[in-house]
Amino acid sequence: MTTSLRPRTLVSAAAVIAALVAPAAASAASAPTVATGAASKVAQTTATVRGTVDPNDVETSYSFEYGPSKAYGAATPPVAVGKGTSPQAAVADLAGLAPFTTYNYRLVATSGAGTSRGANRSFKTLKQPLGLSLAATPNPVAFGAGTTLAGALTGTDNANRQVLLEQNAFPFTAGFAAVGNPQVTNATGTFAFPILSLTTTTQYRGATAPASSCRSSARAAGSSSPARSRAARRPPTARATPSVSRCRAVAPTASWSPRTPATSSAASAAR
């Protein structure tokens, strides 16, 4: 009896050993290997981030985490790269970024074997060029009545900036000259100049005071063209639409050229 039972005992022990070894072999699969690459095509609100992912022979997907701090806060949609055994290129286009802001990012890859996170890297978006718009309200303007020239300074460092108002009265040969007191833009870059009385067709333009953002002593200026002024006894008419001017470092001044009355912008007139 003892001799006949021994082989059965050995077979049962071998089966137990095989069952214990199988899970150990399955757990030998490795998590993806990732490397965060450099950013490229960095602009005011967009950038492209890159890296590499080695799936280590397990179905893998990747995404990029990004944000203004190492807490990130945003991530790109996952992209599948299969289950190869060599590094695969990973790339994502980021949009909706804030100008002149440092962003942190890293590559993250996930498979059935685990999740791997690449090293943190960073880039800084470019400055948004300053732009100045100006419009008259009300418009048309009655002879002798007043109006308000309101505008907005957009771009990087647009808050708490001095804006000057300049005028050039009909027949527009004297050139632009400062009028009134400078205004300071609020936190959102808006400003307004009250015009108490208009008795002749007048061109107006706004100009920012010199600032380092212009990279020179140049001023970013926006001007307006007038509607016609006539000697008629009826109320004047003037129509206006906003225009935009930007800082230019290559010129001593950056200003708008007057437009024809048919396409005048930010104009106030009387006739």
Instruction: Domains for the chain: give ranges and CATH numbers.
Output: 33-124 (2.60.40.10), 131-263 (2.60.40)
What's the pLDDT at 138?
A: 85
Query: What are the tokens at 109?
Result: 């890859």
CA 145 to the chain's CA centroid = 40
Q: With 60 as the cut, is the pLDDT of residue 223 above it?
A: no
Q: How far apart are CA 107 and CA 208, in angstroms?
A: 42
Max Cα distance, the chain (Å): 133
Q: With 50 as the cut, is the pLDDT of residue 75 above it?
A: yes
pLDDT bin (cut points 50, 70, 90) of residue 6 is low
What's the pLDDT at 27?
A: 54
% of the chain beyond a pLDDT of 90 = 50
pLDDT bin (cut points 50, 70, 90) of residue 86 is very high
Q: CB of 229 within 8 A of CB of 271? A: yes
Q: How far apart are CA 222 and CA 267, in angstroms?
A: 12
Q: CB of 243 within 8 A of CB of 211? A: no
**Residue 233: what residue type?**
R
pTM, entire model: 0.61
Q: With 50 as the cut, is the pLDDT of residue 60 above it?
A: yes
